[in-house]
């Protein structure tokens, strides 16, 4: 009987409104945080897939015509298949960038290559890996039209991505 008496005075609906209100207040920040981390995870996955694609194109010595001609002259080792392995990819949050009105993220890719590859060859390999990582991010978020021909920087909804030189291990 006590339960019904409190319901007559509207206490039960008021408690319900308070609980629902607090739940909504708590769920909004959690949802926003999860959305941002999901986007960053998607970008990191795309960067990893792009880096692997770059390694595969290097491993098979598949290059655009202009790069192939340049590599024949200056980096003859790169026109032959080579073995490169992606060790890891991490990122550095550089904070909010007022130029782009987005948070700037710098990707750092770690790779290993045969000891016979010299520094200039590794720079070319690293450029190709970074290119494919940025390109895959743009393809993932369908932002190819917002960047330049080398996909630098790459964009998502809340982030702008750049790449540091590949670190060779």
pLDDT of 165 > 80? The answer is: yes
**Coil vs helix vs strand at 55:** helix
Domain count, the chain: 1
pLDDT of residue 100: 92
Query: Where in the sequence is the domain holding 74, given as residue range(s)?
Result: 2-168
Q: What average pLDDT does range 126-130 have in this prediction?
A: 89
- Report the range out of 4-13, 70-79, 114-123 with the highest average pLDDT: 114-123
pLDDT of 60 > 60? The answer is: yes
Q: What's the Cα-to-Cα distance from 23 to each of 10, 18, 29, 117, 134, rounded to whole Å?
A: 20, 9, 11, 58, 39
How would residue 137 be classed by pLDDT, with cut points 50, 70 and 90? very high
- What distance in Å separates the CA atoms of residue 47 and residue 64, rounded to the nearest whole number? 21
pLDDT of 166 > 90? The answer is: yes
């Amino acid at each position: 009987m006590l339960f019904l008496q409190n319901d007559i005075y509207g206490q039960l609906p008021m408690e319900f409104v308070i609980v629902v209100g607090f739940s909504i207040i708590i769920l909004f920040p959690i949802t926003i945080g999860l959305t941002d981390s999901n986007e960053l995870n998607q970008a990191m996955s795309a960067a990893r897939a792009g880096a692997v694609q770059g390694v595969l194109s290097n491993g098979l010595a598949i290059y655009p015509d202009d790069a192939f001609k340049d590599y024949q002259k200056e980096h003859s080792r790169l026109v032959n298949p080579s073995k490169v392995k992606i060790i890891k990819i991490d990122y550095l949050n550089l904070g909010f960038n007022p130029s782009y009105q987005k948070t700037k993220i710098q990707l750092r890719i770690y790779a290993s290559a045969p000891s016979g590859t010299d520094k200039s060859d590794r720079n070319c390999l690293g450029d190709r890996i970074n290119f494919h990582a940025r390109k895959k991010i743009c393809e993932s978020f369908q932002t190819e039209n917002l960047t330049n021909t080398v996909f630098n920087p790459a964009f998502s909804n809340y982030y702008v991505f750049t790449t540091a030189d590949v670190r060779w291990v």
